[in-house]
Structures are given as C-alpha cells and as structure tokens.
Amino acid sequence: MSTVTSNIESVLQEERHFPPPAEFAQRAHIKSMAELETLRAEAAADPESFWARMAEELHWFKRWDTVLKWDPPHAEWFGGGRINISYNCLDRHLATWRRNKAALIWEGEPGETRTFTYQQLHTEVCKFANVLKHANVKRGDRVALYMPLIPELAIAMLACARIGATHSVVFGGFSSSALVDRINDASCKLVVTADGGWRRGNEVKLKTAVDEALKECPSVNACIVVRRTGSPQHMQEGRDFWWHELMETVDANCPAEELDSEHPLYILYTSGTTGKPKGILHTTAGYLLQAHLTTKWVFDIKDEDLYWCTADIGWVTGHSYVVYGPLSNGASVLMYEGAPNFPEPDRFWTMIERHRVNIFYTAPTAIRAFIKWGDQWPSKHDLSSLRLLGTVGEPINPEAWMWYRKVIGKERCPIVDTWWQTETGAIAITPIPGATTTTPGSATLPFPGIDADVMTRDGKPVGANQGGYLVIKRPWPSMLRTIWGDDERYKQQYWSQIEGIYFAGDGARRDNDGYFWIMGRIDDVINVSGHRLGTAEIESALVSHGAVAEAAVVARPDDLKGSSIVAFVTLEGSHNPSDGLNQELRAHVVKEIGALARPDDIRFTDALPKTRSGKIMRRLLREIATSGTVAGDVTTLEDFSVLEKLRAEEE
C-alpha cells in the first residue's frame, strides 16, 4: 500500500465466520444465500420492478401510476398512489386474527406494564386523531412530539399519520433551547408532551422545558400534556390541555386519510453538532415499504415473536423499528421507558426473561456497557427465549460482537449488524439471518435493491481491502427527500461530494468476500504522516484487549505527523489504570494493526461523553485532547458530569 493516499487506509483483519444455524435457516423467510442472491439479482437487473413487486405487500387505496421518477437528486416513489401508514400499521390487521393480538407491551422504569392489542391501539389512535382535528390540526401541518418512551408517543405518531399531519419527534432528553430550534425550523402548530418521564429513578421534567421553549415559539397554538409522573404542572389557560381530558371528549371513529405516496410523513432532526438544525424529511409510501420489508427480512419476524428494539422513538431507529416497520408487519413490540441499569445492571436481562423476548435489537455502545458491568448480570437470567440479536447505531468492535454472541446469544443466535442512517430511513447494509454467513464487525452485504459501493473522492471504485467513501449509487424507496426548508444544503451535503451519487459521510472498505466494513464517520478519520486511518479500527484493536471495555480515538494536531492519536479508554471492572497497562495497550495496537496506529497518548477515564442516543461524542473528546476545554454545542450530551471529570483531569 502506498505511503500517501487520498483514501482511508484499512488495517483491521478478521478471520472468524459464522454460517446461519441450520434450524434457523429452515424456518426463515429467506432460507439460503442462493435465495438471497436471486432477490439481489432481480433488484439489480430491474430495481423498479423489484420494488413494485414488494409494494404489493402494502395496502393501497389507489395503486401507483409510476414506480420511480428520478430527477437527481430528487426522487418520487410510487407516483399517483394513495396510501396511509396508520392504516397499514393498524386497520388492515383488524380484519384478521391479529385484532386481539398484542401490538405494544410497555414497561415503565418503575415497573408498571400496559398492553395494547391492535384493536385497542387502533381505538386510541383514532381518538387522538380526532383530538388533533378538534385542535384545528390539518393535513400538512407540523406537530412536535416531545415525550418519554411511553405508548402515547407511538399513538401520537400514528394519529398524525392518520390525518396527514407531519410529525417531528424531539427526543425527550433534549434541552428547551434544542426544542426551540426544532419547533421553529418546522413551524410546528402544536406540541404534545408529558409532565415528565423516568430515567435512573429521577424524573425528567418535560413540561417545564416546553414552557420555557414556548416563550420563543410563535407558531405553536396549543400544548397537549400526558400525565405520566403526576408532578404538579403549570397549565396555561387556553394553551395547555391534559391528554386524558381531551380523549374523553371524542369518539373512536376516524377514517384514515387517503394520502399521496409522497406526502410528508415526518421531519427528524439529526442529533446535532453545531449550527442550524438539520431536519431530514421522509415521505410516506417508499419509507413504509422499506421499513416494512427490512423488518420482515432482517429480523425474520414471525407472528409468534416478541420483538424488542431498545432505541428511543426520538431517534430514527425508534421510528422505523419500534413503530412503523414492526406494526406494519403485525408484530408484538416491547417498549421500555427507562435506563438499562436501573435499578440494577441486569434490567434488560430481567425483562427478556420475564417477557420471553425473541428478537433483541440494541446499540454497540449498550453492548460495551454490558461488558463493562460484567458477565455475572446476564448469567443470572434465562435468556433461552432469544433467537435473533441485532446491533445498530455505529460500527461494532469484533470483540464486542463475539461477547454478544457468546454471553447473550449462547452461540446459537444469529447477529444482524445493521448499517443505515437517519437519511436512509431504513436498513441499507445488513446480514439476512437465514442466509448470510456473518463475520464479527462487518455489516456484510447491501439489502436487495440497495446499490452501495466504496469509492475515492473523485468517484472511482476502490479495490478489496482499500478504504474509501461509502456511497449509494441509485435511489432507494426510504431515502430522505430533502432537508426541511433547505434544499440547497440537501444537494450540497449529500449529492455534490461525488456528483450524482449519495454520499453517506462514512468511511468503509470491502473485504475479499465483498463484505462491507464501516470504518466510522469520515470526520472521525485521523491523518497520520499522510495515512488516513479510520478511528473505528483503532478502537476495535484497543477493545480486543481483555482489560478494555470501551475506547474512543480522536486526533490531535501534531506539527511533525499532521495528527497524533489520542485514545480515551474505559477499563473492565477488574482492571485499574497504570503506566504498565498504558504501555501494554500501545503495544497491543501495534501488534493488532501496526506501528502507524500506535496511540501517542492513552487516557483512562471512568466513562465517555455520549449523546442521549448512546453515540460517543468524539467532537468533544477532540476539543479536550487539543485544548483541554470544550467550546462547541453540548445540548445532546447525556451526562455532563463525564465532561466535567475529563476537563478536571486536564487541569
């Protein structure tokens, strides 16, 4: 490999492979690689016919006239079609035995549970849709949802979709200032919130934050409040209304609106860094199709399964894989309000055992936390109901993947390591569990109909095991349509880096089997002596050492090398920081990758700064490593004490 390259160098090697268990494959929706390759070939040869055939699984009020109109970079899918996502998630199941099947099983952090059958959920959604109508919310109006992870959040989303209002879910941990930006950017007419929610035994006060925000949100006419915690609230007369009181004033008759295929379904703001919020717009039919189909094939979902995606609905994973994808498939979905370590670090394993969960989808950052807390917690519980595991949110280190397979899956559950983004709307690169031989740390191959590639910045495909830029070369149904109110930014950010091709912002490589390895965000690339190294691979090397629970690697400017490598490391509970361990870890990275990737500086820390969705905020670590201070936006940070400790250590 040349010493200087404009692309990202790949340094991680992985030789372990795991074919699908025969018994799993036998019962799967897609039973073999041959069957999967037939679907891929069909989709590659004639994408429009492939997606049209798949769209027959949905309920249409009126069938489409054209499958795709592509005027780069703008796509219209299923033009002329009329559809409703709320109808697809609810009404069409009511004529079947699923009418009395559990749709949502919810558990609050204090321990209470509620269950909604499809019939009951339909009733609640219709009633709240009528509440919205009485509040003068019309088709095309925007509604902000700022709520804890409670059933009313899913009900509010489905009610908005039912009448054609566009929802904008703002994660219930964001500050009032973050809420102001998002409400104003979308000119939301109404806010739905709760008095509060529970997180690690503490009340997260949501209505208080809304009251503060609405001082600066002139477009909002009304605020509807769910009573969750029971804490006293200031209710402004004429503006604030209790959910339960309004629900008593309406009936449950609300037919679903027949909406255009491209009707705006939701705006979701990507968890921000700095500057103006970036509202990703998704529309109805294409988004529903890909959320539906990926849920069915990737999670191999069956009617008898209980499916649990641990994501908050405030993130895209919750939109696609807690609400819309599972419910359109008629699945039973588990929702949990609180933290994974409350009251003890085995809360998730207690719930899997108690509810007999079959499919479990969580984030690598959670898995690394489980590793740090120790095997004794999952070992106390019967996890034999699990048949499939999944990961989402960022690249998973091979050693964390192996722990997940061994300790949680007992070496019998396939793992689907999924790559996708808020912008892609649905899973884009993933194993199919009955067909794909998996490799720890690799998202494997694109979903049928996704034309992904790895390219140089000037648009040339790279060879095997060469790092480059992850792109998608053809439009796909669940793709973002624009950035709300800023189409020029949409064109520049996603379609002009490599002309006419979707630029994901991630580095990647493909191995000799064609499998994709996500190497982290390209802004998390370190340039050392002319070599561009992906931080995810260095982090994987560190985590492969038995003492390390989690690692984050950032660059610090260096006069000689361009950048030096700084690693922030949290240790397994039984290990303590020392100079000897520092040197051992540096040597371990050299052994795993090579001298080029040796960290110049390793800093031991009790915890890493993370967003409320669990992603490590490497931007803050870069600022600390470079200047010892943090000047950028920290509104998405979950635990400010982590940052304070890191700052204190710099002084």
pLDDT of residue 113: 98
CA distances from 13 to 6, 54, 442, 568 (A): 21, 37, 11, 23
List, for residues 407-417, the tens digit of each pLDDT value: 999 999 999 99
List, for residues 142-178, the tens digit of each pLDDT value: 999 999 999 999 999 999 999 999 999 998 877 788 8
Sign of the alpha-carbon dihedral angle for 302, 303, 305, 310: positive
Q: Report the distance separating Cα 173 and Cα 611, nearest Å.
A: 10
Q: Report the distance separating Cα 87 and Cα 500, nearest Å.
A: 35
Sign of the alpha-carbon dihedral angle for 212, 218, 219, 220: positive
Mean pLDDT computed over 322-344: 97
The pLDDT of residue 275 is above 60:
no
pTM: 0.86
List, for residues 480-524, the tens digit of each pLDDT value: 999 999 999 999 989 998 988 999 988 999 999 999 999 877 777
pLDDT of residue 5: 37
Q: Report the distance separating Cα 606 and Cα 549, nearest Å.
A: 10
Q: Report the distance separating Cα 429 and Cα 294, nearest Å.
A: 10
CATH 3.40.50.2300 for domain 545-650:
no
Alpha-carbon radius of gyration of the chain = 24
What residue spans define the domains of the chain? 22-56+80-366+373-390+433-439, 545-650
Q: Which residues pair with 554 in a beta bridge?
A: 566
CATH 3.40.50.12780 for domain 22-56+80-366+373-390+433-439:
yes
Q: Report the distance separating Cα 70 and Cα 22, nearest Å.
A: 41
pLDDT of residue 273: 39
The pLDDT of residue 433 is above 90:
yes
The pLDDT of residue 205 is above 60:
yes
Helices (H), 69-117: 85-86, 92-94
- Beta-carbon contacts of residue 306 (< 8 Å; ≥ 6 apart): 105, 332, 334, 355, 356, 357, 358, 359, 385
pLDDT of residue 412: 96
Q: How many CB atoms sit inside 10 A of residue 351's CB?
A: 19
Question: Chain centroid to CA 336: how far?
Answer: 16
- Beta-carbon contacts of residue 337 (< 8 Å; ≥ 6 apart): 106, 107, 108, 109, 148, 149, 150, 197, 198
pLDDT of residue 395: 84
pLDDT of residue 538: 87
- The confidence band for 634, taking pLDDT boundaries of 50, 70 and 90, is low
pLDDT of residue 537: 75
Q: For the chain, give the number of residues.
A: 651
pLDDT of residue 3: 29
The reply to whether domains 22-56+80-366+373-390+433-439 and 545-650 share a CATH topology is no
Q: Please give the residue that has the higher pLDDT: either 237 or 622.
A: 237
Mean pLDDT computed over 292-321: 96
pLDDT of residue 183: 97
List, for residues 98-131, the tens digit of each pLDDT value: 999 999 999 999 999 999 999 999 999 999 999 9
pLDDT of residue 628: 77
Mean pLDDT computed over 11-17: 78
Question: Chain centroid to CA 573: how far?
Answer: 28
